Amino acid sequence: MYTIAPLFSRKFFILLMFLLSMDTFLFAQNQQGDPKLTEFYTPVPKIVTPGMTNDQPPSDAIVLFDGKNLDQWRAEGMDTTKKPGWIVENGIATVDKKSGGIVTRQSFTDYQLHAEYRIPENITGSGQARGNSGIFLASLGNGGDQGYELQVLDSYNNSTYVNGQAGSIYKQGVPLANPCRKPGEWQTYDVVWTAPRFKEDGTLESPARVTVFLNAVLVQNNFELKGQTLYIGQPFYKKHGPAPIKLQAHGDKSEPISYRNIWLRPL
């Protein structure tokens, strides 16, 4: 009765030490094995030449606006042949609120987007009525503000609801920071957009996601959208495929904003 337990304990201890030593031996053997077993040589990433400056797009980008014309865009609305009414001058495109927004002629699914905008130095108004515009990352329908909007607004010393300020996914995603520059200075958006996917019956398979940098500061970190960004009501999803990008001409009475250097890389 008093000799079995110590004997058992010694045997157990010897077995444990043996197993630990074997584990150490096998680990050492593995470390001394062939490193090529964990190396991959295909697929080889394609070569992309970056722009020489921040103003130049990479070699594989689709240039949507280079300061010369708006040939890659059309006026929003039912008439898909109507040309944009925005003013192009000195390398920038300025919103014409009377003619409405502009929509890309091409449709996209997942992409990386670069766009720069400028709030006028003499901007007036307050809240949502101060330099309001928007980048619809997927514009749905030929009229109205349907789709998924990344807000553009003067949010430099201008208060509004936080899910409607610059850097927000309108009425859904509050930005993680407010890195806005003052009016008159150029601001930069860099966006990675993953479009939603839908099943055959129209139900949602996976939601839209977006990562956004505003002036090189992360403001949306792989944010999951709940649906379309609506002014009134709760967001919802409705089945769609590839969609164009829209730049909004907001109906407020403040001075119109400008855009430049817009390019996109399909992913």
- Within 8 A by CB and 6+ apart from 87, the residues are 93, 94, 96
Any idea what DSSP says for residue 71?
Answer: T
Q: Would you state the pLDDT for residue 37?
A: 86
Q: For residue range 209-218, what is the model confidence (pLDDT) as tens digits?
A: 999 999 999 9
Binning the chain into helix, strand and coil, the percentages to the nearest 5 are 15, 30, 55
Q: For residue range 112-156, what is the model confidence (pLDDT) as tens digits?
A: 999 999 999 999 999 999 999 999 999 998 767 899 999 999 999
Of 229, 136, 250, 131, nearest to 187 by C-alpha is 131
Say yes or no to pLDDT of 56 above 80.
yes
- Within 8 A by CB and 6+ apart from 61, the residues are 114, 263, 264, 265
Say yes or no to pLDDT of 26 above 90.
no
Q: For residue range 170-206, what is the model confidence (pLDDT) as tens digits?
A: 999 999 999 999 999 999 999 999 999 999 999 999 9
> pTM of the entire structure?
0.85
Q: For residue range 231-265, what is the model confidence (pLDDT) as tens digits?
A: 999 999 999 999 999 999 998 889 999 999 999 99
CB 188 within 8 A of CB 214: yes
Interatomic CA distance for residues 34 and 17, integer angstroms? 28
State mean pLDDT over 90-117: 96
Interatomic CA distance for residues 65 and 94, integer angstroms? 12
Say yes or no to pLDDT of 1 above 50.
no
- Within 8 A by CB and 6+ apart from 52, the residues are none
Of 81, 64, 82, 68, nearest to 264 by C-alpha is 64
Distance of CA 183 to the CA centre of its chain: 23
Place of tokens 């030490």: 17
Say yes or no to pLDDT of 102 above 50.
yes
For the ranges 29-33, 121-125, 160-164, 209-213, the lowest mean pLDDT is seen at 29-33
Q: Would you state the pLDDT for residue 27?
A: 53
Which tokens is 262 given?
């817009």
Q: Would you state the pLDDT for residue 149?
A: 98
Give the mean pLDDT of the chain.
90
Q: Would you state the pLDDT for residue 144?
A: 72
